Amino acid sequence: MEAQKVDMYLLTNAKYFESQHIPYLREKLLAMDDSKYVVLHSLNLKDPTMILVISILVGGFGIDRFIIGDVGLGIAKLLTCGGFWIWYIVDLFLIMGRTREVNFNSMQLALMM
């Protein structure tokens, strides 16, 4: 893909990834052919800020973990009422990073195809 298109994509979607992943993604996107550009826009990237809000409101029930795809942890969190509220509090600090990690993994899978 052309550099301008890659830079625009990364500028628009940088909030979905950790800052240290951006150079790696840029390199991979530049090496990708234009036919995969549609695949990038069809990815279901989760907004870390929205997941944090969901975690604050209903995180004790594991809804935040279900949304990002951690179904097993979501069930465990649901059955223990947020790990007796300790896990709920810890997740308030960790959920945004985990969301960005899930987005990065989704992007890597899309780039491999």
Name the residue among 72, 75, 77, 66 with its Cα closest to residue 99: 66
pLDDT of residue 11: 94
Q: Model confidence over 51-91: pLDDT tens digits?
A: 999 999 999 999 999 999 999 999 999 999 988 999 999 99
Q: For residue 46, what is the DSSP state?
A: P
Tell me the whole-structure pTM to 2 decimals: 0.91
CA distance 29 to 43: 14
- Sign of the Cα torsion 61, 65, 94, 56 reads negative
